[in-house]
């Protein structure tokens, strides 16, 4: 359904003028003809529902039109191409996250990261869209503003703020992809990770010399003894997020010490 979770589409590929107008709800003045039977919002919601159910590969102008009871040609009167439609979809789902309300920068970044994680669980197809040139819509810009505000005023330069946020964003995207890969392989094979290991472990037992793989053997024995819990993507996500934020905290403290020394 979601093969490989590699980028199969890229944002920013549509006509810039039409994309910006659609993202910000700007209607064309003096448009002639009958009143549209649908709205751009309905088109976007139908496209999101289709991608949620069947993945981004299933998304097409024809299928969205069918879901709305329109002809493909009629749908083009709402969105000029699939490229603009994907931009609209991404901006719309970005608006689902609640603004952070934690009292400190770390809590705010935690809330934002967890909101991004939760959104991707609802809409796995977002991981298949390359966003190097993101849609410049109101919801995505608001999300970017909230993220940067979370670390504003902490003694970091503008460049350092951008780099910190980029590092956190890269981590969150990678963790989301790993989690969705695990979920999809279980769905596609009908087999849990525990079942897969149970099948493979006996086959390896007489082939892997513990002397040659001492650390792997030690970890495997810890799993067998119950000292390590089964694979939990969300637990791993939280662990990595906290260690990354520990690093950010140390970086902020270092910058503040440097500023105090310079003064």
User: What structural domains does the chain harbor?
Assistant: 107-118+148-262 (1.10.357.10)
Its pTM stands at: 0.87
Q: pLDDT tens-digit profile of 149-204?
A: 999 999 999 999 999 999 999 999 999 999 999 888 988 899 988 898 889 888 88
Of the candidates 119, 96, 120, 104, which has an alpha carbon nearest to the alpha carbon of residue 245?
104
Tell me which residue has tokens 């410049």.
Answer: 136
Q: pLDDT of 109-165, one tens digit each?
A: 999 999 999 999 999 999 999 888 899 999 999 999 999 999 999 999 999 999 999
Query: Using 50, 70 and 90 to split pLDDT, how confident is the model at 2?
Result: very low
Instruction: Give yes or no for a contact between 35 and 78, defined as CB atoms under 8 angstroms apart.
Output: no
Give residue-wise pLDDT tens across range 19-69.
Answer: 999 999 986 544 555 567 889 999 999 999 999 999 998 999 999 999 999
CB contact at 8 A, 2 and 184: yes
Terminal-to-terminal C-alpha distance of the chain: 58
pLDDT tier, 100 (very low <50, low <70, confident <90, very high otherwise): very high
């Amino acid at each position: 359904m979601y093969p490989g979770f590699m980028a199969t589409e890229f944002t920013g590929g549509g006509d810039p003028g039409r994309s910006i107008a659609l993202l910000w709800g700007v209607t064309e003045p003096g448009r002639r003809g009958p009143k549209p039977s649908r709205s751009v919002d309905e088109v976007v919601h139908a496209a999101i529902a289709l991608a949620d159910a069947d993945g981004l590969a299933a998304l097409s102008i024809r299928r969205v039109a069918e879901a709305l009871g329109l002809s493909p040609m009629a749908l083009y009167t709402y969105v000029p191409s699939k490229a603009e439609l994907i931009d609209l979809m991404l901006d719309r789902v970005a608006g689902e996250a609640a603004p952070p309300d934690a009292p400190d920068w770390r809590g705010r970044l935690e809330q934002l990261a967890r909101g991004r994680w939760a959104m991707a669980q609802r809409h796995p197809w977002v991981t298949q869209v390359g966003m190097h040139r993101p849609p410049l819509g109101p919801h995505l810009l608001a999300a970017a503003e909230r993220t940067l505000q979370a670390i504003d005023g902490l003694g970091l330069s503008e460049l350092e703020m951008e780099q910190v946020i980029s590092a956190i964003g890269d981590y969150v995207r990678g963790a989301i992809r790993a989690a969705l890969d695990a979920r999809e392989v279980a769905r596609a094979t009908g087999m849990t990770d525990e079942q897969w290991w149970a099948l493979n472990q006996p086959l390896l037992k007489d082939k892997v010399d513990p002397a040659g793989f001492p650390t792997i053997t030690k970890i495997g024995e810890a799993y067998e003894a119950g000292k390590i819990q089964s694979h939990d993507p969300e637990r791993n996500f939280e662990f990595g997020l906290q260690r990354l934020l520990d690093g950010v905290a140390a970086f902020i403290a270092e910058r503040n010490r440097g500023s105090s020394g310079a003064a």
